[in-house]
Amino acid sequence: EICACLVGSEMCIETGTTSPKIGESVEAVMNDGRMVEIFRMPSTSRAYPLPLEKKAEYYREMFKKIGIL
């Protein structure tokens, strides 16, 4: 099961985990016992200074890790 959360920091607060660095993830247990992996991804907004190619690389690595690529 793949879920997306726009506000990963709230997921970390909910599960009691620390927020990972951009491009990294942490494993957590939800209140109902499900194991989840919380990824912290860079903003896709062009307003942030990180080059688009670098943002794309973070997403590529996440998709590889979860088996989509």
* Nearest partner of 66 among 30, 18, 27, 29, judged by Cα: 27
The H-or-E segment that residue 68 falls in is none
Mean pLDDT of 4-12: 64
The model's pLDDT over 11-61, given as tens digits with 9 standing for 90+, comes to: 777 788 888 898 899 898 888 888 888 888 888 777 778 888 999 999 999
The pLDDT assigned to 6 comes to: 45
CA distances for 8 relative to 31, 53, 66, 69, angstroms: 16, 22, 17, 22
pTM: 0.73
Distance (Å, rounded) from C-alpha 17 to C-alpha 28?
Answer: 7
pLDDT for 45 equals 75
Please count the helices (runs of H) and the strands (runs of E) in the chain.
2, 2
